[in-house]
Structure 1
Amino acid sequence: MFFGLRWVIRIALGLLAVVVLYIGISFAQVWWASRQDNTAPASAIVVMGAAQWNGLPSPVLKGRLDHAADLYQKGVAPVVIVAGGKQVGDKVTQGLVSFEYLRSKGIPESVLKIEGAGTNSYEELSSTAFIMRQAGLAQNVVIVTDPYHAYRVADIADEVGLSAHVSPTSGSTTLSDYVRETGAVAIGRIIGYRRLAAWR
């Protein structure tokens, strides 16, 4: 019986070591991706949604939009897709607020497309892929988001059929951001990001 218990303990410790290693690798990948800017010519620049306050972009969303405007002006892509639906209590979508902000920055209305249905990263990118197919655009994009979010959005983009490069903003990232993203990536890669989005 004692011999059998030792094997149970060894197996349990082995499984724990595998889990710790997997989480550690996921953390390292999230951290590394946050420091890479893989901007490349694309069919569209996609701005991930973030909070808006009574029709005005929050500092996080403004940072993403300013970065996207800079990429557009540099000729990275001919189209800018602004993503984000309504969160609880919102009167307008994040996508519409982003559209109005970029238009006020001098980005032509004709190059802007709104993804206004998504309430999480998976929904935003899945809907964006559909919008691009409907518009006859090749499925290659540059995604603009905060640094800590870079690895997960690239993973999600691949899952929904987009070929993505990520260009993170210069926004600050806290340890809690990295920890949260590590958890999302570690689980999402096992069960799929679509299922993870449905759980959250």
Structure 2
Amino acid sequence: MLGRVVVGALLVGLLVVGGTAFRVWQVARADDRRPVDIVVVLGAAQYHGKPSDVLLARLEQALELYQDGLTKYIVTVGGRLPGDAYTEAEASKKWLSGKGVPADQIVDVDVGSDTLGSMAAVAQLSEQRGWSSALIVSDPWHSLRARTMANDLGLQSWASPARSGPVVQTREVQFRYIIRETGALLYYRLTHASAELTGDGLG
């Protein structure tokens, strides 16, 4: 009897993990672009105001959505590491401004050291400004968790992942991030806390 219970529990666990990994992969392959109140660019590393390759891929995707007329406002998020002259949000705003997006249509939210903290700040800002819908721009494998957090915080959200950059270059890298995000999403669903995966915008 005990053996059956153990085997059953293992099977359920495998189904939960496998199902979550499949959803991470499935959402990563989709682009749910549509008209929204805001496009949210999740932060990643920047160097003296210059976006890293990961952040640049996200900004290029957000700019495309803006130029396609799907939003009037872009919200950039992300704080700073000790010694940084710019926050990730400021570096993103600087890049977008340089590409012709009016400064008053870019809102930089420079709080939050991980995805959950950033999305909480964006949700609070959205409530203040009367925004109710968002497209989340991040890496493909990060999209489901970021979208889930935003929806849980009351902001109706969809994902429009960046399709370029180092995170999507090889199958080995893709597989590693799918595994990582599967664990982080399961942790969030169990605890409603961040997995604290910092350093590359996947916290």
- TM-score w.r.t. structure 2 length? 0.89
Distance 2:42 2:195 in 1: 18
Structure 1 runs of 4+ aligned residues shifted over 4 Å read 195-198
Matched with 2:200 is none
Where 1:142 maps in the other structure, the secondary structure is: strand
List aligned pairs for 1:1-200, cutoff 5 A.
7-135=1-129, 137-171=130-164, 172=168, 174-192=174-192, 194=193, 196=195
Sequence identity (%): 31
1:37 is displaced (CA, Å) by 0.3
Distance 2:138 2:178 in 1: 14
Cα distance 1:156–1:57, how it changes in 2: closer, same or farther (>3 A)?
same
| Pairs aligned (count) | 191
1:195 is displaced (CA, Å) by 5.7
Query: CA RMSD, aligned part only?
Result: 1.6
Distance 1:91 1:47 in 2: 20
- TM-score w.r.t. structure 1 length? 0.90
Distance 1:165 1:187 in 2: 21
For residues 66-96 of structure 1, what are the alpha-carbon distances to aligned partners after superposition, in whole Å with 9 as ceiling and x for unaligned?
Answer: 1111111111011100011113553321000
1:8 is displaced (CA, Å) by 1.9
CA contact (8 A) 2:116 2:194 kept: no
The structure number with the bigger radius of gyration is: 1
Distance 1:101 1:180 in 2: 29
Task: Mark the runs of 5 or more structure 2 residues left unpaired by the alignment.
Answer: 198-202
Where 1:170 maps in the other structure, the secondary structure is: coil
Task: Mark the runs of 5 or more structure 1 residues left unpaired by the alignment.
Answer: 1-6
